[in-house]
Amino acid sequence: MPKPDLNKAVLTGSDENTEWMLPWFIENYKKYNDTHLSVVDFGMTDKMLTWLENNVDSMGDMRVVTPHAWFLKPFAMMNSPFRNTIWLDADCEVLGDVSPIFSKIIPSKISMVVDRPWSKRFKTTMYNSGVVAFQGRPKILEMWCDRIKEKPARGDQETLHEMMDPLQQMMYINEIENKWNVLRLQHIEGPKVPNTVINHWTGQKGKEHIRSLMNE
């Protein structure tokens, strides 16, 4: 692979259990985007790694950090070689150009969408980690990784929420518009989000929906 432009990129990652979504994710992404796309290996099969060599711009390896792929994301972000990075989960359905997110990046913060279904359920402000934009290595990423090493919650998103009080959220998180990460439950509970750019098909039911989209 050619040496990547290190100024900006979109980053995602997968292991052997979720790699089946990558061809779908990449096809959707390339319909609307030409920003450098890098995929981090959380433990994929050799067959998928070979396929990716011809279908993405660059690849990285994070298999040795933790045995649980759902905790690898913050480490992959912290080790991003790019100056400006947008992380997208592989279960995100890209419906348009994501590059405007780069203009929303604030140094020292991570830019995220409020997880409205979870915030409503738990009566507190929670942010969804399926779409995260940042510059360099903001301190919050290091704090997030340290917390995962020392006292992980059920997943990376829950760990991020539990480690911060409302003041720290204001210090370290920049809220961006809902259209950049519309969650599966929002399609059920409403209201409809106008001008949606990314649908995020979370959970087992979300994966079933992705399989149905792939079979259309």
Amino acid 68: pLDDT: 58
With a threshold of 0.85, does the pTM exceed it? yes
Amino acid 65: pLDDT: 54
CB 115 within 8 A of CB 157: yes
In Å, how far are 126, 148, 157, 193 from 162, measured between CA atoms? 10, 11, 9, 27
Can you tell me the distance from the alpha carbon of 141 to that of 193, in angstroms, rounded to the nearest whole number? Answer: 29
For 140-168, how does the pLDDT look when each residue is reduced to its tens digit (9 = 90+)? 999 999 999 888 888 899 999 999 999 99
Can you tell me the distance from the alpha carbon of 54 to that of 48, in angstroms, rounded to the nearest whole number? Answer: 10
Extended beta strands in the chain, E state: 8-14, 37-41, 58-61, 84-88, 92-94, 110-114, 127-135, 173-175, 182-183, 198-200
DSSP, res 191: P
Can you tell me the distance from the alpha carbon of 173 to that of 36, in angstroms, rounded to the nearest whole number? Answer: 24
Span of 3-12, 46-55, 83-92, 156-165 with lowest mean pLDDT: 3-12
pLDDT reading at 2 higher than 60: no
Give the SS3 label for residue 90: coil
pLDDT reading at 190 higher than 70: yes
pLDDT bucket at 63, cuts 50 / 70 / 90:
low
In Å, how far are 45, 104, 173 from 10, measured between CA atoms? 22, 14, 19
Give, in words, the CATH class of 8-214.
alpha beta
pLDDT reading at 66 higher than 60: no
In Å, how far are 29, 52, 112, 143, 207 from 20, measured between CA atoms? 15, 12, 26, 31, 10
